[in-house]
């Protein structure tokens, strides 16, 4: 039985990865310090002999017994509302945490996959964003604690690959949504959905013309799984290239929830990217991957999940 360690495994993406690998017959060790993750996300695996949870801060010394085939490093705050609250911890998990995780992968001879982000492109000057674009990031801006942590994580991952011959993979994750996102996550879809379900004003920042390309979590996890098992050592974008404005997204969610909420506008946050759209040509060619979940289908599943969390009726 193959063994995989997933750091940040009790978080939104990490918990879905735990599901994926258990369904494929792996033994899964989930490691999380629960700053933004939740035991509730993995509670359905408690008692499974092929699942093991370790509460641990990956910026400290990491160790697990026995052999290890794969290590997926997903530990990090990922929402602006989170990494602005814990900026030092965000920088530490991207630097020290990645260093510790790579050291463990090297010691075990495990293949390492880094969860990077489209935020390495910053406020991009090319559109859509290809993997060969170096980005336009403000290193001293408020978002720099996350952006630069991930850029450093990519650099040290490639250094371990080149210098220590560690097998590495890097996924650049674009905006993703789905079940197990936190109600107070702060990102657009959780905010719009929770506001709409509660009948509160739906907050759009700026004039709503900034764009995002949102991918349902099941599609993302499948892309990550394929990348891990591929031979591609360069970064690969995984996301849905179906681009829309934030105002359009708010209007879609307003319609799907049948809410009476009004849409209001607030000042755009500092360094908020104006556009975001992945070029997924590499994923198509190398992984035979494209997203398959239509946005309406994914949003309805997400809305149902949030309605249950909020104890609000939704059909």
Structure tokens at 178: 């789905």
In 3D space, the residue among 305, 189, 214, 314 whose CA is nearest the CA of residue 259 turns out to be 314
Instruction: Enumerate the H helices of 165-245 as residue ranges.
Output: 188-198, 217-228
C-alpha 37 chain-centroid distance: 12
How far lies 98's CA from each of 58, 71, 73, 93, 171, in Å?
8, 11, 7, 6, 14
Instruction: Write the DSSP symbol of residue 84.
Output: T
Phi and psi at residue 119, to the nearest 5°: -65, -15
How far lies 88's CA from each of 59, 76, 233, 260, in Å?
12, 11, 29, 40
Structure tokens at 260: 């009476």
Q: Quickly list DSSP for 2-15.
A: -EEEEETTTSHHHH
Tell me the C-alpha distance between 29 and 42, whole Å: 11
How far lies 4's CA from each of 18, 22, 72, in Å?
9, 10, 8
Instruction: Based on the residue annotation, tell me whether 133 is a catalytic residue of this protein.
Output: no
Q: Pick the catalytic residue: 26, 83, 121, 146?
A: 146
User: Is 80 buried (19+), middle (13-18) or exposed (0-12) by CB count in 10 A?
Assistant: buried
Task: Tell me which residues are annotated as active site.
Answer: 146
């Amino acid at each position: 039985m193959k063994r995989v360690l997933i750091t940040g495994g009790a978080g939104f993406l990490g918990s879905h990865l735990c599901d994926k690998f258990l369904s494929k017959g792996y033994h899964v060790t989930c490691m999380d310090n629960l700053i933004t993750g939740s035991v509730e996300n993995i509670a359905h695996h408690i008692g499974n002999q092929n699942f093991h949870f370790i509460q641990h801060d990956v910026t400290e010394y990491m160790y697990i017994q026995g052999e290890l085939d794969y290590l997926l490093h997903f530990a990090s705050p990922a929402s602006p509302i989170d990494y602005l609250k814990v900026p030092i911890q965000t920088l530490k998990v991207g630097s020290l945490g990645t260093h510790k995780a790579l050291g463990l992968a090297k010691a075990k001879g495990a293949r390492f996959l880094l969860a990077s982000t489209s935020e390495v492109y910053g406020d991009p000057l090319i559109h859509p964003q290809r993997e060969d674009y170096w980005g336009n990031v403000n290193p001293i801006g408020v978002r720099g604690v996350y952006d630069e942590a991930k850029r450093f994580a990519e650099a040290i991952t490639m250094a371990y690959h080149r210098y220590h011959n560690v097998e590495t993979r890097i996924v650049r994750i674009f905006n993703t949504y789905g079940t197990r996102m936190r109600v107070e996550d702060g990102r657009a879809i959780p905010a719009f959905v929770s506001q709409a379900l509660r009948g509160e004003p739906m907050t759009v920042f700026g004039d709503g013309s900034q764009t995002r390309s949102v991918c349902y979590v099941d599609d993302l996890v499948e892309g990550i799984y394929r990348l891990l098992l591929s031979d591609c050592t360069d970064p690969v974008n995984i996301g849905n290239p179906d681009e829309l404005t934030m105002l359009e997204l708010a209007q879609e969610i307003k319609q799907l929830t049948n809410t009476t909420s009004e849409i209001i506008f607030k000042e755009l946050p500092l360094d908020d990217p104006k556009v975001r759209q992945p070029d997924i040509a590499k994923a198509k060619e190398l992984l035979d991957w494209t997203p398959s979940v239509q946005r309406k289908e994914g949003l309805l599943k997400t809305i149902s999940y949030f309605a249950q969390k909020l104890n609000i009726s939704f059909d």
